[in-house]
Structure 1
């Protein structure tokens, strides 16, 4: 792990995983708070590394300090839930040492019911002897190859503070220094512009990325999604729809893009068209073991909530109620589900007396 000023979250992270690991290595990149003190309470091996605006350099240094056969990496604001920690212990007890890497699900956000909203898969447990290297100053990735297996273990991102424009500044400093961005950098620079609300610049960067021939297909899908949102924000609904459809060039339509198209028609009160796209979303399977960023709720309760809205607008209340019931199975604590239920039960009871 690399860390800097993580006193608010480090205990939570280390406490969630300490029983499952044989050593803890913390590389501190300049903390001025109690980060090191907290790490010492877990008997961590602590090393200092001067921050150079390059995450890969720090991570590669941290990997170089590991001494066990396999390396599990996490960020300070990540946690492992009890059931996942136990599954990791079980995995270790019967581990096949021909395995080079174990992937785990990375959950970036959860809803009120603990359902994964956004997630992706990452190489998490890797063989030390292979000397895998981190690549990229920002949004770095681990260059893994060999015998890779997928696990059911999840790691949860629980951010309590925003990094703001830190990553954007790193990219812009690299540009000022005359660096030429590779295809991956073009995409992630676009993301940072998007996150920091520089919408016209983000649009230009994403378009540039989509013109490349070597861009990863999952990144191209995400670029389409973010472009659609950019155009939505500036009121260009024609291009919002255009880039939602463009995502279909990169694979079978996904439920999240169908929901995006459905939302376009719902906003225009074109309810039949919206129903078509939301209904299609309900019939599309979630891509198992996807390495791309997935909006999971579009594969579960969200299209049913929106179908409830559409059918209510058409005064087809029984259909609306049926879809809200399906959504309730996934998200019983959702305020939207509860409000819909109250409204529809009232309407249907009135209708039954007429």
Structure 2
């Protein structure tokens, strides 16, 4: 069996902060690294070339699929790994490199761990995304581009990639760019559930929660039950409704969606957060809401972490739920219960770090 060639294929612009980390993490596993620069005026190009990447230029045309496809055209490899500069390989390089001996026609799915700050705390959520492509596969769509490969088999690989572009200190550099492109798409297709979801997400990332809710609600109307983004859409809708102070609408959504997410710690975690903020905002409701808050987070522990879910936050089925229950019972003066969950949090954190 002849050995296949593997390439890293990237589009970049002003990524001097992170491109070296990305290239260094990938270099041991690929035969070539292709970087398509769309107009950097920092040290991105020099850094990429110094690390052995082949750098080419592309005039940005406000179309991500066009740029991705132009980069893919430069590759002669049998397999192309598509990453952004703020992503890097954490683990699983060996499984990825094993594709050299794979003759199947498939799309490889990797796990990306997204770092983000939520209410001042670092959280990591895992998403499964199709980023390992056979030579001939291309993209379509000017923003949040999708693969043009109908019916092709997709397989999860043991490749884990980190991503820190959602952290506060980094996301400001891209503010407005994605929103503008998404609004162009929605002007053409106002009811499109995927673009409504993505625009809601974009607005949420920049704390524009009331606006985000509008687009999430449009997306919920038309998103199929088995769409791979629906879990994230529901959980983000609950969060944004909470942040916008729309507690009753959040509860109605939770009641409607609950039968579908009995396996999701993220759903019950978000529900507990909604109920807690409602109790704080309206103390007259607290007597009814407090038991529901505790049962929501306890349900998270019953389910446990579920890494098979798309866009699941690590720890919501374990140490993060225990942490919330510790703080919850401590605030109520129930010291025995608080101590129990404090000890459980420490134990779950210990297990998680193993």
Same fold (TM over 0.5): yes
Distance 1:60 1:54 in 2: 10
- Structure 2: runs of 5+ lacking an equivalent: 1-9, 280-285
1:161 is paired with a residue of what secondary structure? Answer: helix
Q: Taking structure 1 as reference, are residues 215 and 142 closer, same or farther at Cα in structure 2, changes over 3 Å only?
A: farther
**TM-score of the aligned structures, taking structure 1 as reference length:** 0.81
Question: What per-residue deviation string (whole Å, max 9, x for no partner) do you get for residues 242-277 of structure 1?
Answer: 223333254435211212222333342443222211
Distance 2:116 2:239 in 1: 21
Q: Taking structure 1 as reference, are residues 196 and 264 closer, same or farther at Cα in structure 2, changes over 3 Å only?
A: closer
Structure 1 residue corresponding to 2:145, chosen from 140, 151, 154: 140
Distance 1:264 1:233 in 2: 9
Distance 1:299 1:98 in 2: 36
Q: Taking structure 1 as reference, are residues 18 and 229 closer, same or farther at Cα in structure 2, changes over 3 Å only?
A: same
Distance 2:329 2:223 in 1: 42
Structure 2 residue corresponding to 1:166, chosen from 152, 177, 201: 177
**Where does residue 190 of structure 1 map in the other structure?**
200
**Deviates most, 292-301 or 263-272:** 263-272
Question: What per-residue deviation string (whole Å, max 9, x for no partner) do you get for residues 138-186 of structure 1?
Answer: 12232444343222220001336221111112233456xx523433222
**Deviates most, 72-81 or 227-236:** 227-236
Distance 1:301 1:104 in 2: 25
Question: What per-residue deviation string (whole Å, max 9, x for no partner) do you get for residues 47-92 of structure 1?
Answer: 21111111111011111111111111111111113x4334534x34
Structure 2 residue corresponding to 1:223, chosen from 233, 241, 246: 233
2:188 is paired with a residue of what secondary structure? Answer: coil
**Where does residue 115 of structure 2 map in the other structure?**
109
CA RMSD of aligned residues (A): 2.8
2:84 is paired with a residue of what secondary structure? Answer: coil
Question: What per-residue deviation string (whole Å, max 9, x for no partner) do you get for residues 274-322 of structure 1?
Answer: 22111111111444433x3212221221111122223334444333222
Which segments of structure 1 move beyond 4 Å, counting only runs of 4 or more? Answer: 213-216
**Where does residue 212 of structure 1 map in the other structure?**
222
**Where does residue 350 of structure 1 map in the other structure?**
none
Q: Is 1:307–2:314 an aligned residue pair?
A: no
Q: Taking structure 1 as reference, are residues 238 and 223 closer, same or farther at Cα in structure 2, changes over 3 Å only?
A: same
Q: Going by fraction, where is strand more abundant, 1 or 2?
A: 2
Distance 1:253 1:87 in 2: 28
Structure 2 residue corresponding to 1:232, chosen from 238, 242, 253: 242
1:59 is paired with a residue of what secondary structure? Answer: helix
1:151 is paired with a residue of what secondary structure? Answer: strand
- Structure 1: runs of 5+ lacking an equivalent: 333-354
**Deviates most, 203-212 or 268-277:** 268-277
Q: Is 1:265–1:274's contact at 8 Å kept on the other side of the alignment?
A: yes
Distance 1:303 1:153 in 2: 27
Report the count of equivalent residues: 323
Q: After the TM superposition, which residues 225-304 of structure 1 pair with which residues of structure 2 at under 5 Å, given as runs?
A: 225-248=235-258, 250-267=260-277, 268=279, 269=286, 270-290=289-309, 292-304=310-322
Q: Is 1:151–2:131 an aligned residue pair?
A: no
Distance 2:325 2:148 in 1: 42
Q: Is 1:55–1:140's contact at 8 Å kept on the other side of the alignment?
A: yes
**TM-score of the aligned structures, taking structure 2 as reference length:** 0.81
Q: Which has the larger radius of gyration?
A: 1
**Where does residue 15 of structure 2 map in the other structure?**
6
Distance 2:300 2:45 in 1: 48
Distance 2:328 2:252 in 1: 22
**Where does residue 34 of structure 1 map in the other structure?**
43
